[in-house]
Chains A and B, each alone.
Chain A
């Protein structure tokens, strides 16, 4: 158990930890701060910390000029849609692996994981070709499917590790009680696995939200999510620091908040249950 430490040591640790924490957080803090400055104040020398005229003007300009809401909406639909679709496909698969394991279960799980490791750039052209062929280029549904597929292994894995913690006897009890397979999954397994499913959903929304290879390469104007919205600021608007900051803040704020809620599950999800 944790032992008492000397107050001096605790003060020192606190000081060091806070300095490092603030240092790491600084780029985000600075971005948020700058988003409330005017362009002139944003590039003021020396940099202004708190004493400037706080303004929301940048947010209005960004929204007006680049239609932030549309990109946001695309991000929401794509991240949410791919996660939802993934969970719907993954729940039955994870049920099978967790409660009816066979000799091949482990191989299938590892194989699924291996598809996650396929470098995207290696299949960029074939996928683009297929997207053109099926008229999916620059559509939300196309991205939903692709992001669902790249995250499906993680979703199956996470659900599998959560399901394995549910005692099989409870599902057998449901079977004895006359529940069909569908009822067993719907009324017994799912409610019991809600915390696990919730963290799976959360983590995958974050991963899909931040995905920046397929979203950049498979969208143009219509279906572009926030990743592409920000990439469009790379030049020359990037020189307008305050507006760039406002756009960035709007792009990361929703997920930053979600992320803080999911930090505990993050480890398990990202290491495929290898570290808990």
Chain B
């Protein structure tokens, strides 16, 4: 559908974006890979100028065998899994609710979506102080009102608290996408099922849920990619303490706090591999959609 001239123009016009992204991907990735095979502790006098010692896979084995690694993997899985479960289940229910006719639909929609636009540092701080503060937070007031002892959320139930905060941020995303998907459901299908005598619950199981399956998969995959690299929420609430150190945060600490670049880089490579496993599945879905 085109001429040689337009094809060569197309190549030229695509070049800046492709070259920039290629550089953005390859340069740091190569450096991370390089450091991951080196002993690199800037605080102890290692520097690029003097050359770094090659240590083979030592950083990789040390990263895995460190006492912090498996707990961090567990924390990551619990956090990602918890947020996914909450946002997807509540997201489906909310999407169905918002799809019903009621007064003030537009306003309620806006109220529900709003958290998504709040920057991560703000939502983390607001939750930490205004809601979860064990003395002056709203939750503490509520607990006292019902005669219970206020909870020190971020130290006693730290991981659950972070899951709650992150879920609050991502629930709008899940709801919005699932709502869009529900609205694309052909209502004749539902009416046909109703004519066939299917009660509401089985209409949900056999028609609505299968229709949503693709959207749910997309929500899960995209959220997983973002959730795996959750940073600011932990940074400003617990700083990785009280069992909230995820893999991302562990790597961050290795690089920034303990300045062990080699070890941190090896961790980075693990994180990249993990993200890519999820990414492959997402790409398949998006790629299929591209052909349609």
A residues whose Cβ falls under 8 Å from a Cβ of B: 1-2, 5, 10, 13-14, 16-18, 20-22, 24-25, 27-28, 30-31, 34, 42-43, 45-47, 89-90, 92-93, 95-97, 99-102, 106, 108-110, 112-115, 117-127, 129-130, 149, 152-153, 156, 168, 181, 206, 209-210, 212-213, 216-217, 226-228, 230-231, 233-234, 238-239, 241, 244-245, 248, 251-252, 255-256, 258-260, 263, 266-267, 270-276
Contacts and interface: CB of A to CB of B under 8 A. Distances in A.
Nearest to B117: A259
Interface in B121-169: 121-123, 125-131, 135-136, 138, 141, 144-145, 168
A252 B116 CA distance: 11
A134 B274 CA distance: 31
Given A97-B14, A130-B27, A227-B119, A119 B286 contact: no
Given A27-B123, A119-B275, A93 B1 contact: no
Interface in B9-38: 9-11, 13-14, 16-18, 20-21, 24-25, 27-29, 31-32, 35
B51 interface: no
B102 A125 contact: no
Interface residues of B, number: 109
B275 A118 contact: yes
B201 interface: no
A263 B116 CA distance: 10
Chain B interface helix/strand/loop/mixed: helix
B268 A121 contact: yes
B276 interface: yes
Contacts of A252: 117-119, 122
23 contacts: A10-B103, A17-B102, A18-B108, A24-B111, A24-B114, A25-B115, A97-B14, A99-B10, A100-B1, A109-B290, A114-B276, A117-B282, A122-B29, A124-B252, A126-B27, A209-B119, A210-B118, A217-B256, A231-B236, A241-B136, A251-B119, A263-B110, A270-B173
